[in-house]
Amino acid sequence: MNQRVIPIAVQAPSQGPSRERKRQAPKGRRVDPAALAEVQRLLGDAPRRRDLLIEHLHLINDRYGALSTAHMAALAQEMRMAQTEVYEVASFYHHFEIVRDGEALPDTLTVRVCDGIACELAGAQDLLAKLPAILGSDVKVIPAPCIGRCEQAPAAVVGQFPVPNANADSVRQAVASGQTTHEQEPATGFDAYLAAGGYRLLQECASGARTADAVIAEMENSQLRGLGGAGFPAGRKWRIVRNEPGPRLMAVNIDEGEPGTFKDRTYLERDPHRFLEGMLIAAWAVGIADIYVYLRDEYHGIRGFLEREIAMLQARPPIANMPRIHLRRGAGAYICGEESAMIESIEGKRGMPRLRPPYVAQVGLFGRPTLEHNFETLYWVRDILEKGGAWFSSHGRHGRKGLRSFSVSGRVKKPGVHLAPAGITIQELIDEFCGGMQDGHAFYAYLPGGASGGILPATMNDIPLDFDTLQPYGCFIGSAAVVVLSDQDKVTDAARNLMRFFRDESCGQCTPCRAGTAKTLQLIQHDHWDAALIGDLSQVMRDASICGLGQAAPNPVDCVIKYFPHELA
C-alpha cells in the first residue's frame, strides 16, 4: 500500500541576531499621520470606547462627506481596534459612504429621493428620472428607502434638509439655497412643558407620593401594549425587568424604519418632553441606571433639538439621581428596528439580530437586563397615570380596547397621524379621519401594518384594526402604518416595491432571509407568478429566519396570491 509522505519543515538553528528578520511596523495598512491628526481633532476629548464607534464614524462622515480608508485606519488605531472591525461596521450601514484607495473624497451634493411605497404612489420614480438633468452633474441623485415622511409624499432630502411634497422645482430651489442641514424647534420645549405642569408626575413618583408597585399596576390595568409592533404588554414588561438583578439599563427605539410609519416623528416634533417624562417614570419604576435613546439618522432636525432638550433636562433635573440619558444615532439600517439588532448597534457593532433566548429583558445592552421600549409606548405613560388605566382601556371599537396612532398615507385626502379607537375598521378610518379617498380614486386595497403587515382588498373593509385581529388573514397591524391603494394602483407593483425593500434591508446573517428575499423578488418580476414555488419559499423564510424581517417579508406577496389572483391571470 502506498503511503503518503508528509514533509516536515525543520527549522534551522538560529545563527544569532544578524539572521533574524525583525518586523519594522505592525501588519496591515500603515496609518497616515495626516489622517490620524484629522481624526484626533474631530474626536477631541471624546472617549475612545468601542460602543462609540458609530458615533465617531458619523463625525468623520459628516465632516468629509465619506469615510476614506485612511481615516478608518486612523480611527482603528485611535480606538485600539482592528481595522477590519471598523470596516465591517462602516460597510454595514447605508449612510456611511466608503471611499477606496485612490478615490477622491466626494465634492458633490447628494439628493435622496424616497422610493418607498407611499412615495412611489405619489410619483417618486418620475422625480428620480427628471432630477439628474435638471440639477446637473454637480449633484448626485439617488433613490433612498423610506425616510419617515410618508404623509408628505413624494419626499426628498437635499443633504440633510427634507423637502416635503417634492417636485422638480422645490428640489431645485432647495439645492440653489445651499441649505443642506435642517434645524427645527419642538412645538413644546422644556420651559413651556414645565409651565404646563410637566414633570410633576415624575416628581410625585420620586417623592414617594406614588409607589413603583402602584404605577406598574396602573400600567397593567391600562392594557397598553408595545406600540413598536410586537405588542407585548407594557406593564408586564416593567415588572419582568424590575425583578432582574441590577444594574438594569433601558433602550428606547426611535428607529421607525417600517415603510408607512411616521407617528414617532410627528409626536416628537410636537411634544418631546411628554415622551421624556414617560421614559423617566419607567426608569424610576424599574430601577434603571442608564438610558440609551436610539434615533434614526433620517431625523436630522429632531436630533438637533432633542440633544438640546435633553441637555436642558440634565442641567435642571426635576428629580435627584436622575438616570443618565445617552442619545445614539442610527446610520440607516431598517433591521435596527428589531430590539436586539438595535442593541448591537448601540454597542458599536453591526446591527444583526441576536438568537434568543436569552431575552433582552435578561441579557440585553452590555450584557445587563434591559427594558426596551418603542417611543410611542412611553409617550402614553403620563396620560395613563394621570387619567387612570381605565381611561385608556375605555376607548375602542368592535370589542377592542385602547387608542391607536395610525400613520395613514396613500390615496386619502388627509394623510397623517390619526389618533383613533383601537379596533376601528379601515373604512371607518378613511371616512371619519382621512376625509375620504382622493378625488378620482376608488378604494381598492390597503396595507394594515406597513411593509410587512400584508395587503388586503377593499372588500375586506370591516376587520377591526388591532393586535391579534388580522393574523387569521395572513396580516398584522405592527406599528399601525396604513397605506391606502386605489383602483389606479396595482398590488403586484406594491409587492415588488416592498420585496425590493426587504432584499436591500436584510442584514444577511441568515440564508433564508438573505437568499429568500432576493429569490422572491426575482420570481415576482414576471407577470405570471409560480404560486407553488413562492409558497414553498415563503414557508422556509417563516420557519427558518432568525428575526421578524425574514419571517414577515413574504406577507405582501402571499396576500397578492391569495386575495388578488385576477392581477396574476
The per-residue pLDDT for range 290-335, each reduced to its tens digit, is 999 999 999 999 999 999 999 999 999 999 999 999 999 999 999 9
Q: What local confidence, expressed as pLDDT, does residue 249 receive?
A: 98
Place of cell 409560480: 530
Please indicate, yes or no, whether residues 318 and 429 belong to a single structural domain of this protein. no
User: For residue 540, what is its C-alpha cell?
Assistant: 422556509
Q: What local confidence, expressed as pLDDT, does residue 476 receive?
A: 96
Give the separation between CA 343 and CA 372, rounded to whole angstroms: 9
CATH of the domain at 52: 1.10.10
Three-class secondary structure of residue 487 per DSSP: coil
Fill in the amino acid letter for 206. A
Please indicate, yes or no, whether residues 216 and 346 belong to a single structural domain of this protein. yes
Please indicate, yes or no, whether residues 135 and 272 belong to a single structural domain of this protein. no
pLDDT at 2 over 50: no
Whether 182 is covered by a domain: the verdict is: no
Q: What local confidence, expressed as pLDDT, does residue 14 receive?
A: 46
Check: CB of residue 135 under 8 Å from CB of residue 111: yes
pLDDT digit string (tens) for 134-144?
999 999 999 99
Lowest mean pLDDT: which of 16-25, 138-147, 533-542?
16-25
Work out the pLDDT band at 26, boundaries 50, 70, 90. Answer: low
What size, in residues, is the chain?
569
Place of cell 402571499: 558
Please indicate, yes or no, whether residues 549 and 418 belong to a single structural domain of this protein. no
Work out the pLDDT band at 287, boundaries 50, 70, 90. Answer: very high
Helix axes 531-544 and 511-523, enclosed angle (nearest 10): 160
Domain end, chosen from 348, 364, 389, is at 389
Give the count of domains, the chain: 5
Please indicate, yes or no, whether residues 248 and 382 belong to a single structural domain of this protein. yes
Check: CB of residue 484 under 8 Å from CB of residue 444: no
Place of cell 371599537: 397
Lowest mean pLDDT: which of 3-12, 203-212, 362-371, 555-564?
3-12
Q: What local confidence, expressed as pLDDT, does residue 101 receive?
A: 82
pLDDT at 77 over 90: yes
Please indicate, yes or no, whether residues 512 and 461 belong to a single structural domain of this protein. no
Q: What local confidence, expressed as pLDDT, does residue 17 receive?
A: 47
pLDDT at 267 over 90: yes
Whether 145 is covered by a domain: the verdict is: yes
Indicate the pTM of the whole model. Answer: 0.93
Place of cell 436586539: 340
Check: CB of residue 435 under 8 Å from CB of residue 414: yes
Please indicate, yes or no, whether residues 463 and 363 belong to a single structural domain of this protein. no
Please indicate, yes or no, whether residues 412 and 442 belong to a single structural domain of this protein. yes
Place of cell 387612570: 388
Mode of pairing for the β-strands spanning 443-447 and 288-295: unpaired
Please indicate, yes or no, whether residues 72 and 155 belong to a single structural domain of this protein. no
Whether 15 is covered by a domain: the verdict is: no
Place of cell 406577496: 557
Please indicate, yes or no, whether residues 413 and 497 belong to a single structural domain of this protein. no
Range of the structural domain that residue 63 is part of = 33-99
Domain end, chosen from 340, 368, 389, is at 389
Whether 7 is covered by a domain: the verdict is: no
User: For residue 569, what is its C-alpha cell?
Assistant: 391571470
Give the separation between CA 373 and CA 337, rounded to whole angstroms: 11
Measuring CA to CA, how many Å separate 438 from each of 149, 303, 333? 19, 34, 33
Whether 28 is covered by a domain: the verdict is: no
